Structure 1
């Protein structure tokens, strides 16, 4: 991981720099796409070789993960486009729109695999066991565990919820592949349509992935509240100054990753020096943008304490 970071990311230690964060996102996406494409090709090949719908479904699950990585890659690039006359708040939400399109494609893929798996249950076919198939699936588990570790480390390094979510998705894929391995082994001792049943399970897993993406994306587009962690950190930064007596009417609008705009009212003493308090407020706004990437507008409310 450290080799890849130093090789492909310039100024890799400056993780608060949007350009560096974009480079981290690009690295995560490219590594994810390469790994998932290789896994798809291997699983699809051994799935056709062994006539297993469960393995083929698991292969297309990796292909959907590749599509998610592609979304993340384009999302970082589109979100980095500067604001223009028609889009004064930037293009950050393009990532959400692209995610929505890809989620629909994943759902269609899941429904098609579900239909094929159901046919396998109704009209079961013999699954051919090959040692190479088992080795491929076990190697896939190892790759997915490494990807989970890789993205979790990157996510913690730049404080990226997207990468941490990607790591959780990789851990979930290990469970799906484990179910496929179980179906392959059970095919040796039973004539029941275990392969079709596991194919249905993996298909439902793909559909749930699509549903989760759609739910999260629609929530972002409709305007969900800022996370409690962000609002709590923001409050602490504002109230840290002794000049600020209180805070209310806090609003945060999300225009995409690293592109949030907020406003709030702060209470100050009515007899305080206006210039001095204004300097304090300006400093707070700059610190919030540097640490939380929120462009804040802070209004001062005078409070009479006498």
Structure 2
């Protein structure tokens, strides 16, 4: 299956799963009288919005290059990831405010046992979604899909916090331990802290990609090895590699025999570009600049490099 189709399919699976989980958590949150479960339902609802944003970003990102976007639309995925990150932070803040208000107002809610069952189902489902999307995102190098996977993982973590809080509140009510009665509200604050932390981490990673981070020397060395394997390349002078969404754009400066014709040099540059794109799936484009090959004893020629 095409890479972009796999990403879209994975996103739709996430949307459908989140709709089901949000409805379950929301309904049982009211029925079971659990603030932690309601907070978790709100988190799952934010997952739906996040998945829709990711879906839109992916659909824009797969559009071919045009006059206004000669390097393609790959950054649309990164922008979508940043939106999801800030959405996580916003949801976390809202959950915190709601929980603190309920504690200061003395609104102690005793959840029912059914809340634990729904939370357990949610943990299993969310971890399964995380594993599926994270592995696929790594394989196809999609920052948007990876960010969505971490959104699912944060939901799984928040569900664990809610599970502990609900269980503690039930124990406190059964054995008449007063401070445990607030465990459900405290758990919702723990949920919020996890959500905010995940959002910050995603925002940081996406921002780095948005600013077109330069690849490290080890990664560039792989590209240089591919270039030197092309017939006619005498020397790789410099390779600049920067991220563009889930793709990489290269600016290559290499030396060829100074006695070659313009057409011969052009054919070498075309072969270098073709070889790079063929051997490295993450390379979207490569700009090749040719220099006349010279030894360093030839000062004038060396200055041209």
Q: Same fold (TM over 0.5)?
A: yes
Where do 1:187-206 residues align within 5 Å?
187-190=169-172, 191-192=178-179, 193-206=182-195
Q: Which runs of 5+ in 2 are unaligned?
A: 173-177, 298-305
Query: Structure 1 residues 57 and 246 mapped into 2: Cα distance closer, same or farther (>3 Å)?
Result: farther
Structure 2: how far apart are the matches of 1:286 and 1:140? 47
Query: Aligned residue for 2:301?
Result: none
Tell me how many residue pairs correspond in the alignment: 287
Query: Structure 1 residues 169 and 187 mapped into 2: Cα distance closer, same or farther (>3 Å)?
Result: same
2:98 is aligned with 1:109: no
Where do 1:122-141 residues align within 5 Å?
122-141=104-123
Contact 1:147 1:167 in 2 (8 A): yes
Contact 2:33 2:111 in 1 (8 A): no
Query: Aligned residue for 2:48?
Result: 66
Return the match for 2:290 from 269, 276, 300.
300
Query: Structure 1 residues 152 and 107 mapped into 2: Cα distance closer, same or farther (>3 Å)?
Result: closer
Aligned-residue RMSD, C-alpha: 2.9
Structure 2: how far apart are the matches of 1:58 and 1:215? 24
Q: 157-166 or 229-238: which moved more? A: 157-166
Query: Structure 1 residues 244 and 88 mapped into 2: Cα distance closer, same or farther (>3 Å)?
Result: closer
Cα distance, 1:301 vs. partner? Answer: 2.4
Query: Aligned residue for 2:212?
Result: 223
2:3 is aligned with 1:21: yes
Cα deviation, 1:8-37, whole Å, max 9, x if unaligned, reads xxxx1xxxxxxx222111101100111112
Question: Which runs of 4 or more aligned residues in structure 1 lie more than 4 Å from their structure 2 counterparts after TM superposition?
Answer: 227-230, 269-278
Cα distance, 1:157 vs. partner? Answer: 4.7
2:247 is aligned with 1:237: no
Structure 2: how far apart are the matches of 1:86 and 1:155? 28
Return the match for 1:264 from 236, 241, 252.
252
Q: Using structure 1 for the length normalisation, give the TM-score.
A: 0.80
Return the match for 2:239 from 224, 246, 250.
250
Query: Aligned residue for 1:284?
Result: 272
Structure 2: how far apart are the matches of 1:111 and 1:196? 14
Query: Aligned residue for 1:39?
Result: 21
Cα distance, 1:202 vs. partner? Answer: 0.9
Q: Using structure 2 for the length normalisation, give the TM-score.
A: 0.80
2:203 is aligned with 1:214: yes
Q: Which runs of 5+ in 1 are unaligned?
A: 1-11, 13-19
Query: Structure 1 residues 254 and 56 mapped into 2: Cα distance closer, same or farther (>3 Å)?
Result: same
Cα distance, 1:115 vs. partner? Answer: 0.5
